Structure 1
């Protein structure tokens, strides 16, 4: 019997889990702990003013830092409570409630809403990301049946994916346009074997 639980299952079993999770990061910051190491790494890897997708963004800790550094950040998380915290505390990003297994639809719906909004923000969260980051153990909270769909969604949302702007090639670059990159991390022993992950991501 598998002990794997998705984030939604954890929150359904313990509705206060999300609040405690957000408070834990607030406590770390109040104690003077460095909570921005991952964000600094991503900032160093990304071109200036990059379009960055914070996949599984939680309360916007990482994406908020990156938005403050001048990047255009779109964060997606399945947890409405954490997205509400991100929207209240990290105004520099665009924060969307959605399942990463349906990332294309989440981004498409948000882009359509932006275009029909009477007061558009100017952001268009529809893909063509220079960089996608899934920090911490985000990937280990995904339903194993959805893993391939999540990875395919990341691939399709990156700059240079078929049909995305930036896919236009030029001779100087061997006919290949700008390419985005994904930075994905998770701990060993968290339910997704590294060898299997590499096969799934191939």
Structure 2
């Protein structure tokens, strides 16, 4: 199995992987680990009570934290094991099983968070489809916070080009969820994006 395999390929080869992932974060939570860094950044971007889409919500730690902060959260993930865990561990948000490359919830959100390397687990040929579907679910004045590491085979320049090609504009690039500046040697990217039609800086040329 390639280290850059999609989530679907990983779970097809190892049916226990999803439960391992759930148990990993339940263990970290039980140990008192700080698991809310992504949610803190997103909360700072939005007025209290905003509608937030947690795209690739996994077992719900980010969306759960945003719900506890007072936001109205919908989480979407293609893995039913992870969504079932979110329903148990983080009641309150609406948790849905759906494919980020094709989903259509028929509504838009004030903000979107896509954390945990989610975009890198999408099949490479479908990443622009996912970015297109995410844009379709965002209010014109909204923003998306999306983060992933460079160890997953999706280069930052390639991602930025894909985002620009699918109608996203860059507001700010960071190297961590705790607001450290993005640098050329950064191993992680947190991109704050908005619809290009709503203004903002263009992507790479």
Q: TM-score range by the shorter chain?
A: 0.7 to 0.9
Matches within 5 A, 1:189-200: 189-200=151-162
Instruction: Say which SS state the counterpart of residue 11 (structure 2) adopts.
Output: helix
* Structure 1 counterpart of 2:137: 157
The answer (yes or no) to whether the contact 1:148–1:200 under 8 Å persists in 2 is yes
Instruction: Say which SS state the counterpart of residue 151 (structure 1) adopts.
Output: helix
Over alpha carbons, which structure has the higher Rg? 1
Q: Distance in 2 between matches of 1:191 and 1:60?
A: 25
The answer (yes or no) to whether the contact 1:83–1:96 under 8 Å persists in 2 is yes
Matches within 5 A, 1:59-98: 59-98=59-98
Q: Distance in 2 between matches of 1:155 and 1:32?
A: 35
Unaligned segments of structure 2, at least 5 residues: 165-205
- Length-normalised TM-score, structure 2: 0.77
Query: Number of aligned pairs?
Result: 164
Judging by fraction of residues, say which structure has more helix. 1
Instruction: Say which SS state the counterpart of residue 102 (structure 1) adopts.
Output: coil
> Cα distance, 1:3 vs. partner?
5.3
The answer (yes or no) to whether the contact 1:127–1:159 under 8 Å persists in 2 is no
Runs of at least 4 residues of structure 1 off by over 2 A?
none
- Give the root-mean-square deviation of aligned CA atoms: 1.4
> Cα distance, 1:103 vs. partner?
2.1
Q: Distance in 2 between matches of 1:196 and 1:93?
A: 33
Does 2:107 match 1:130? no
Unaligned segments of structure 1, at least 5 residues: 108-125, 161-178
Q: Distance in 1 between matches of 2:138 and 2:11?
A: 30
- Length-normalised TM-score, structure 1: 0.78
